[in-house]
Structure 1
Amino acid sequence: MSIVCNVQSSVLGQPWRWRSPANAADQGFSPDDLTTRLLMARGCVREDVEAHKSPSIRGFMPDPSIFRDMDRAAERLADAVERREQVAVFGDYDVDGATSAALLIRLLRDLGLAPRPYIPDRLMEGYGPSGEALVRLKGEGADLIVTVDCGAQAFDALAMARDAGAEVIVVDHHKCATELPAAYALVNPNRLDEGEGAAHGHLAAVGVAFLLGAALVRVLRARGWFNGRTEPRLLDLLDIVALGTVADVAALRGLNRAFVAQGLKVMAGRRNIGLNALIEASRLTRAPTCSDLGFALGPRINAGGRVGRADLGVRLLTTTDPAEARRIAEELNQLNEERRAIEAMVQEGAEAEAARHGSGAVAVIAGNGWHPGVIGIVAGRLKEKLNRPVIVIAVDESGIGKGSGRSIAGVDLGAAILAAKDMGILIAGGGHAMAAGVTIAADQVQALADFLHERLAVAVERAMGERALLVDAMVSPRGLNPALVDALEAAGPYGMGWPAPRVATGPVRIVRCDVVGNGHVRAIISGEDGASLKAMAFRSADTPLGQALLGAPTHRRLWLAGRAKTDDWGSRPAAELHVDDAAWAN
C-alpha cells in the first residue's frame, strides 16, 4: 500500500490522495512518462498529450469570429485605422487592465494611430468606466472608446456615453447579466448568450484583447490595407499577454497555456523596453518563469494602481524610451515596498476581525480606514488560511465600503455577488468564479454575509469536505534531483486550473531546522538512502506544519509532500523541496 494512501490525517489535519488513480499503479517511470502522467492528471486526453507538451498558439487559437460581437468590434476598429480616428483605451487599474490596454495601444500605434490611454484612479473614481469619464473622453475628441477588463456591468455609464454620442467597444471577461449594457459591441466569452466562444470563458481580458487584435489585423488584411504597409507581429505582444494572464490568476488550460508558454519565450528575448526595465528592477538575473510573473512582475505593475498612480503600468508597458522605462520601473518597485507595509497592517487587522466575525460560509470582514488598494491581496491570504471564500471590505469616512473577494475551487463567488446585487444588498458588484469586487454601504455588510452564507454554505461545505493534499509522484530523497525538476516542469506552465505537481518523499529525519526571513522554516533533511537536501516551508513558523518541523526529535521520521524546485545558490544546481505538508512515519 502506498504511503500516500495511508496518510489519512497529516500534521495539517488532511488526507493525502493521488491526483490521478493511475499514479498509484506504478511508481517506476521515465521522465517522459512522468510528463505524460502529469498532463493526463490535469485533464489532458492521451491524443492531445504531444500538443500540450509544447503548447503553441497555432494549436490552441480559435477563430476569433466565434465570439459574439467580435467581427462588429474588429470592423469598427478597422474603420478607425483607415480614417485615422482618435481612439481612447479605457483600462482597469490592475495588471490585466494594464496589459490589455497596453496590448491594444501598441497594436494601434503599429497601425498608425496615436491611441489615448485612460486608467481610472482606484480611490477617486473606483472600478470600471464612469459615465462622466466616457462623456469627457468623447468631448475631448475621442471618436471611439474601447474599455478593457471592465464594462460588462457598466449599464449607467454606457447609457450616458451612448446618449452623448460616444461609440464604446467593451472587451471584458467578467460575468455578465442577462441584459447587456448599451455598447457598440461587447466582446466577452462570459456573455450568457455566448455560443461556441463560451468554452474560452477562462481567458483573462488580455487574452480577449489579443483575439480582438487578431480579428482586426485579419479585417485590415482582407481590405487590402497592408498593401505597401508592414503587417504588425501580434506574436511579439505575447509577453504582455502572458503577464496579464498569470497575474490575473486565469486558469492555465487551453489557449491560456499557449499564451503563457509562448509569452515566456518572447519575454526572454527582452523585446519590450518597459518589461525589460521591470525585470531588472525586480533583480531577476535569468529569464522570467511563470511564478515570476505572478510574484515578482505582476505585483509591481499592480502597485501603481494600488498605492500609486494608476497609469504607471500602462506607461511602462508602452514606452519606447529606455530612460523613462527605468524611472517608472524603479518607482513601481518603491511603490511595491510601500504596498507591502500597508498590506501587513491591514492583514493584521483583518485576521483579528476574522477571528471575531468571520465564521460564516464566506468570511465577510470589514474595517474602517483600511487601504482599498491591498484588500484583494489580504483576501487571498486569508482564503488560504481559512480554507474558504473571503471578502475583505475597506469602509471609508462616508460609510461606503469597497470590497474584494477570493474564492476556493468549486464555489462560484462571482455569480453569488451578482445575485446579491440583484437583491439590492450591494451598490455595485461583479467578478468571476474565483474573484469578485463589491461596493456596499457599511450597514449592509452583515446582510451580505448572511446572504452569502445561505446561498453558498452547501457548496463551501462540499468543497471543504473534498479537501485533500493531492500528490503526483512518490520519490526517494535521492530521486529529488534537478533531472526530476526538469521532468516536472515539462508539463508546465503551471498556475490556476493547471496546478503545479506535488511530490511525496521519505521517510526522512530532520538534521537541522531553523526560522529564516518572514516566518519561513528551513530544514536540512536526510533520507534512509543517505541523501540529504534542503526543505523550505514558507510562512509556516507559527503553523502546525512549521512547529512539527522545528520540534521533530531526531529519532522520529516524517513523510514530506511539496514542490520540487531547483536551488541555484550553490556551486552547482541542486533540488530542494518546498514543503506543503508532513506526516509522521513512526
Structure 2
Amino acid sequence: MTPVLGVARSILGQPWRWRALAADAREGMTPDDLVTQLLLARGCPREGLDEHRLPSIRGFMPDPSIFRDMDRAADRLADAVQAGEQVAIFGDYDVDGATSAALMIRVLRDLGLKARPYIPDRLLEGYGPSGAALVRLAAEGATLIVTVDCGAQAFEALATARDAQVDVVVVDHHKCAAELPHAHALVNPNRLDEQGGAAHGHLAAVGVCFLLAAALVRTLRARGFFATRAEPRLIELLDMVALGTVADVAQLRGLNRAFVAQGLKVMDRRRNIGLAALIEASRLTRAPTCSDLGFALGPRINAGGRVGRADLGVRLLTTSDPDEARRIAAELDRLNEERRAVEAGVQGAAEELANTRNRVAVVSGHGWHPGVIGIVAGRLKEKLGRPAIVIALDGQGVGKGSGRSITGVDLGAAVLAAREHGLLVAGGGHAMAAGLTIAADRIADFTAFLEDRLGDAVERATADRALLVDAVLATGGVTRDLVEAMEAGGPYGAGWPAPRVAAGPVRVVRADVVGNGHVRAVVAGEDGRSLKVMAFRQADTLLGQALLGAPPHRRLWLAGRAKLDDWSAKPAAELHVEDAAWVT
C-alpha cells in the first residue's frame, strides 16, 4: 500500500496510510461528500448510510426479549414493583457501574419503588458482590437484589444469596465462563450460550440496563400498570447511558452510537440535576461532546470510587436536590485532583519497571494505590503500543490488578483463562479491559501465561501498525467548517475513530512547553496561513522534541485531529498533533 505523502517512517517510526476504502465503495461518491467518506471508511455499509448519519434509538434498538433471561428478569422486577418489595441495586464502583445503578434506581423510582443503592468499597471489599454483602442486604429487608456491571462470575456470592433465599438478578456485560453462577436471571450479551443478543456484546452494562428498563416498562404495560399513571420517559435517561458507554470504552458501533448520539442531546438539556452540576464543576460552558464524557465527566464520577467514596457517583446521578448535587460535584472535582497527584507517582514507577521486550507489559509495585492502576495501565498501553497490566501489591502478598488492551487482543478472555488455570484468585473483564486479584508469587507465571497466550495476537496487531489518515490538507484547510463537517460523522470513540488529517508542509514559527508536558506551537504553511497546534504529553518524546527544535529551514508534515480551541472567545480550528514527518 502506497504511504500517504510518501511517509514510510515518521518521526514516531510508523508509516502513514489511508484509512482504506475498497475501490467499489468510492464509486458514485463525490469528492465533497466528506461524511459519506468517513462513514464508509469506518465500516458502515453503503445501504446503512442514512441510519448511520443520524443514529437513532428507533433505528438500532433491538427487541429486548432476544437476550437470554431478559423476560425473566423483567417479570421479577415487575412483580417487585407491583408488590412494593424492598429492592437493592448492587453496582460496581466505576462509571459504568454508577450509571447502571443510577439508571435502575431512577426507573424504579418513577415506577413508585424506592430502591436502595449499594456500591462496594474498592479498597475494603474489592470488585463485585460478596456473599457477606448480599446476606446483609437480605437481612436488612431486601427481597430482590439486582447486580449491575458485576456478578457474571460471582459463583460463591450468588450461592450464598440463594441459601439466604433472596432472589438476585444479574445484569452484566463482562466475559462469561461456560458455567454460570446461580441467579434468578442473568442478562449478559456475552454469555457463551447467548444467541439472539450475541450481536450486542459490545454494549456497556448501562446499555444492557436500559434494555432491561424497556423490557420492564413493556411488561408492566401489558399488566395494565399504567392505566392510572404515566409511563417513565426512558429517553430522558440516555444521558447516563452515553456517559457509562463512553467511559467504559465500549465500541461505538450500532446501538452504542445511537445511545451516545441521542444521550449527548439529552445531556445538553441539563435535566439531570446531578449531571448538570458535574458539567458546571468541570467548567464546561458549551454542549458536552463525546470527548468530554471520557476525559472530563467520567474521571470525576470515577474519582469517588478510586479514593474510598464509592457511592458519590450514584448519589450525584440520582439526587433531586440542586444544593446536594453541587456539593457532591464539588467534592468529586476535588477528589479528582487528588487522584491525579496519586496517579502521577504510580505512573512514573510503572514506566520505569516496564519490560520493553515483553509483548504484554505486566508491572507490579508495593504501596501503589489500587484506585489509579486502571488509568496507569491505559497510559502505559498507549506509550508502549501493547497490552498493559498494572498490579498494586498489599502487605499480605496479594495484588489487585487492572489491564488495558489494544485492538485485536482480547485481554478479558485471557484473564478469564488464567483464572481457570489457577493462576489468579479472581479475574474477568472484556476485550479491552480486565481486572484481577493475584498472589504475588504467581505474577511471574501469570506473565509467562499471557506471553504464550497473547503473544501472537499482539504481534499481528502491532506488525502492521500505521497512522491512518482520512484527508490531506493545506494549512489553510484546517478550518472551523472542516471541524464541523467532520463532527457530522460522529460520535467518535472506541471502534469508531475520530477523523485524522495530515496538513502541510509547514515550518515551525514558535514552540514552547505548557501545562503537564504539552507542546504548543504555531506553524506556517506554504499557502501563507498559520495554524496553532498542540501535542499533548509529548514534550519528552521524539515528536515533541522535533516541534521544539525544528530548524527554520526544515519543513514538516503534521498529522492529527482537527479541533476547535474551546478556550478562545471565538473558537478557531487548531490541530492536535499525533505524529509528524520531515519533508524530504
Shorter-chain TM-score bucket reads over 0.9
- Residue 512 of structure 1 is matched in structure 2 by 510
- Map Cα deviations across residues 51-77 of structure 1 (whole Å, 9 max, x no partner): 111110000000000000000000110
Instruction: After TM superposition, list the pairs within 5 Å mapping 1:123-522 onto structure 2.
Output: 123-354=123-354, 357=355, 359-522=357-520
CA shift in 2, pair 1:142/1:112, >3 Å:
same
* SS of alignment partner, residue 225 of structure 2: coil
- The TM-score with structure 2 as length reference comes to 0.98
> What is the Cα deviation at residue 361 of structure 1?
1.5
> What is the Cα deviation at residue 358 of structure 1?
5.3
Separation (CA, whole Å) in 2 of partners of 1:541 and 1:168: 51
CA shift in 2, pair 1:32/1:94, >3 Å:
farther
Instruction: After TM superposition, list the pairs within 5 Å mapping 1:13-28 onto structure 2.
Output: 13-21=13-21
CA shift in 2, pair 1:474/1:77, >3 Å:
same
- Residue 528 of structure 2 is matched in structure 1 by 530
Separation (CA, whole Å) in 2 of partners of 1:407 and 1:188: 21
Contact 1:5 1:18 in 2 (8 A): no
Contact 2:71 2:215 in 1 (8 A): yes
Separation (CA, whole Å) in 1 of partners of 2:569 and 2:3: 34
- Residue 118 of structure 2 is matched in structure 1 by 118
- The TM-score with structure 1 as length reference comes to 0.98
Quick one: which amino acid aligns to residue 164 of structure 2? A
Separation (CA, whole Å) in 1 of partners of 2:508 and 2:356: 36
* Number of residue pairs aligned between Structure 1 and Structure 2: 584
> What is the Cα deviation at residue 370 of structure 1?
0.3
Separation (CA, whole Å) in 1 of partners of 2:394 and 2:519: 38
Say which is worse superposed, 570-579 or 260-269, in terms of deviation. 570-579
> What is the Cα deviation at residue 30 of structure 1?
7.0
- Map Cα deviations across residues 15-63 of structure 1 (whole Å, 9 max, x no partner): 001011469999x997961100100111101111111111100000000
Contact 1:42 1:498 in 2 (8 A): yes
> What is the Cα deviation at residue 124 of structure 1?
0.4
Instruction: After TM superposition, list the pairs within 5 Å mapping 1:3-14 onto structure 2.
Output: 4=4, 6-14=6-14
Contact 1:358 1:365 in 2 (8 A): no
Separation (CA, whole Å) in 2 of partners of 1:42 and 1:25: 12
Residue identity over aligned pairs, in percent, reads 76
Quick one: which amino acid aligns to residue 427 of structure 2? G
* SS of alignment partner, residue 226 of structure 2: coil
* SS of alignment partner, residue 436 of structure 2: strand
> What is the Cα deviation at residue 551 of structure 1?
1.2
Quick one: which amino acid aligns to residue 173 of structure 2? H
Separation (CA, whole Å) in 1 of partners of 2:215 and 2:31: 40
User: 1:564 and 2:562 equivalent?
Assistant: yes
Contact 1:91 1:119 in 2 (8 A): yes
Q: Runs (4+) of structure 1 moved beyond 2 Å?
A: 21-26, 28-32, 568-573
- Map Cα deviations across residues 508-548 of structure 1 (whole Å, 9 max, x no partner): 11111111111111111111111111011100010010011
Quick one: which amino acid aligns to residue 463 of structure 1? A
Instruction: After TM superposition, list the pairs within 5 Å mapping 1:60-71 onto structure 2.
Output: 60-71=60-71
- Map Cα deviations across residues 477-515 of structure 1 (whole Å, 9 max, x no partner): 111101100111000000000000100111111111111
CA shift in 2, pair 1:571/1:318, >3 Å:
closer
Quick one: which amino acid aligns to residue 226 of structure 1? F
* SS of alignment partner, residue 93 of structure 2: coil
* SS of alignment partner, residue 195 of structure 1: coil
Contact 2:121 2:308 in 1 (8 A): no
Instruction: After TM superposition, list the pairs within 5 Å mapping 1:49-88 onto structure 2.
Output: 49-88=49-88
Quick one: which amino acid aligns to residue 452 of structure 2? E
Contact 1:2 1:24 in 2 (8 A): no
Separation (CA, whole Å) in 1 of partners of 2:93 and 2:23: 43
> What is the Cα deviation at residue 300 of structure 1?
0.2
- Map Cα deviations across residues 318-363 of structure 1 (whole Å, 9 max, x no partner): 0001111011000000000000000001111111111xx4532211
Contact 2:25 2:46 in 1 (8 A): no
Separation (CA, whole Å) in 2 of partners of 1:31 and 1:104: 46
CA shift in 2, pair 1:570/1:277, >3 Å:
closer
Separation (CA, whole Å) in 2 of partners of 1:539 and 1:507: 23
Separation (CA, whole Å) in 2 of partners of 1:30 and 1:232: 44
> What is the Cα deviation at residue 308 of structure 1?
3.4
Separation (CA, whole Å) in 2 of partners of 1:551 and 1:395: 41
Separation (CA, whole Å) in 1 of partners of 2:349 and 2:242: 34
Root mean square deviation, CA, Å = 1.7
Separation (CA, whole Å) in 1 of partners of 2:475 and 2:51: 32
* SS of alignment partner, residue 382 of structure 2: helix
> What is the Cα deviation at residue 574 of structure 1?
1.7
Q: Which runs of 5 or more structure 2 residues have no equivalent in the other structure?
A: none
- Residue 89 of structure 1 is matched in structure 2 by 89
Say which is worse superposed, 191-200 or 29-38, in terms of deviation. 29-38
> What is the Cα deviation at residue 570 of structure 1?
4.0
